[in-house]
Amino acid sequence: MNLRINGSEPLQNLQISTENSNVTIFSYYTTTFGFPSDRLSYFVQGQGQQIINIGVGLHGGSNVDWVVLSNGSFISNDWSVSRNGSVTLVRLTGNMSIIYFGFTNQLANSNLPFYEQHSIAIAVTVAFAVTVAAAIMINVAVKKRSAGGEIVSND
């Protein structure tokens, strides 16, 4: 309970079980703005099994809300999520990261400020507006440059 790892944010509730493997936990970070997420990073030695519950994702049990990275690569198999939010990993070794994206739970919380409830929509809208503005500025600059470089004859 309330574990702090190397200056990381406090991990309110960590439950971990390993079989035929050794685990060294490096960090835990959580974000609530933009893309709300929780991330646990650790190192696994031995191709056993780990069952890890960081106290999030308690109602979905859906792999859609979770990402597992092994040595920097996305992993689509050798892991699963139970209904209580426990992530089970098998035969994976090296640097691991378990990431939970809490879109559903964060958006459903009506006690959050407007910008946190709608942070994804706001971020997408801003990114789209910046892209459109950049495209318009590039288009105008290209038209000005091509108009200034033309030779006009009065024939």
For residue 81, which of 107, 50, 109 has the smallest C-alpha distance?
50
Looking at residue 42, its pLDDT comes to: 93
Domains of the chain, residue spans? 15-108, 118-148
Helix, strand and coil content of the chain, in percent to the nearest 5, comes to: 30, 35, 40
Strand partners, 130: none
Q: Which whole number is the average pLDDT over 6-24?
A: 88
User: Over the stretch 78-133, which tens digit does the pLDDT of each residue have?
Assistant: 999 888 888 999 999 999 999 888 764 444 445 667 666 666 777 878 888 899 89
Q: What is the CATH number of domain 15-108?
A: 2.60.40
